[in-house]
């Protein structure tokens, strides 16, 4: 009986000890702040800096010549766990080789279904897509959250292979 009372009191003592250890660390950082990370949003929109690892939305990278690196391989579409990405591709004749090759017609992105998991970015073999730092996506009509990522008239960069 004394053994069980001793164990009970010992467990209570150890619980209080670990609680106080955690509170000591919390108290230290409460009275000695190193960096204030609270943002005064939306008043600071012009100076707001998002963290480097922040995931906003998927974007298809285009250069100044309206060219992208997407080959239409559908690796991102397959890697997406909830069908956020749709690649609508078509066949075209390559002027250099004269052979038929796959080109993207539309790169459709459904932002309302995206969980920002980054799996599509990791699956892309040509680094054609990336996560942007945008975060303001509040809309009244959810259909505006469906976006076509390839710009009109865009084409694949020279030298990018599947």
In contact, 88 and 108? CB cutoff 8 Å: yes
State the 10-residue block means of pLDDT for the chain, 162 residues long. 83 93 86 75 83 89 92 92 92 78 89 93 94 89 93 84 69
In tens, the pLDDT along 127-159 reads 999 999 888 888 999 999 999 999 998 888 887
In contact, 60 and 150? CB cutoff 8 Å: yes
Question: Would you kindly state where each structural domain of the chain is located, as residue ranges?
Answer: 1-34, 58-156
Residue with tokens 């579409």: 77
Please give the CATH topology (third level) of the domain spanning 58-156. Answer: Alpha-Beta Plaits (3.30.70)
CA distances to 26, 34, 36, 104, 150 from 31, in Å: 9, 10, 12, 56, 50
Distance, in Å, from the CA atom of 103 to the CA atom of 153, rounded to the nearest integer, reads: 12
Q: Look at residue 162 in the predicted model and tell me its pLDDT.
A: 65
Distance, in Å, from the CA atom of 78 to the CA atom of 125, rounded to the nearest integer, reads: 13
Q: Show the tokens assigned to 14.
A: 């150890």
Q: Show the tokens assigned to 77.
A: 């579409």
Longest dimension (CA), the chain: 90
Distance from first CA to last CA of the chain, Å, rounded?
Answer: 74
């Amino acid at each position: 009986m004394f053994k069980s009372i001793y164990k009970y009191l010992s467990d209570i003592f150890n619980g209080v000890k670990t609680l106080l250890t955690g509170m000591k660390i919390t108290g230290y950082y409460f009275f000695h702040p190193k960096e204030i990370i609270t943002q005064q949003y939306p008043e600071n929109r012009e100076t707001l800096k998002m963290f480097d690892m922040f995931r906003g939305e998927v974007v298809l990278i285009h250069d100044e010549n309206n060219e992208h690196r997407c080959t239409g391989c559908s690796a991102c579409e397959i890697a997406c766990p909830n069908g956020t990405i749709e690649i609508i591709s078509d066949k075209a004749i390559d002027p250099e080789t004269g052979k038929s090759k796959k080109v993207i017609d539309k790169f459709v992105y459904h932002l309302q279904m995206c969980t920002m998991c980054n799996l599509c970015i990791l699956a892309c073999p040509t680094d054609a897509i990336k996560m942007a730092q945008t975060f303001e996506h509040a809309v009244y009509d959810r259909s505006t959250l469906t976006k076509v990522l390839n710009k009109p008239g865009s084409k694949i960069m020279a030298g990018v292979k599947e």
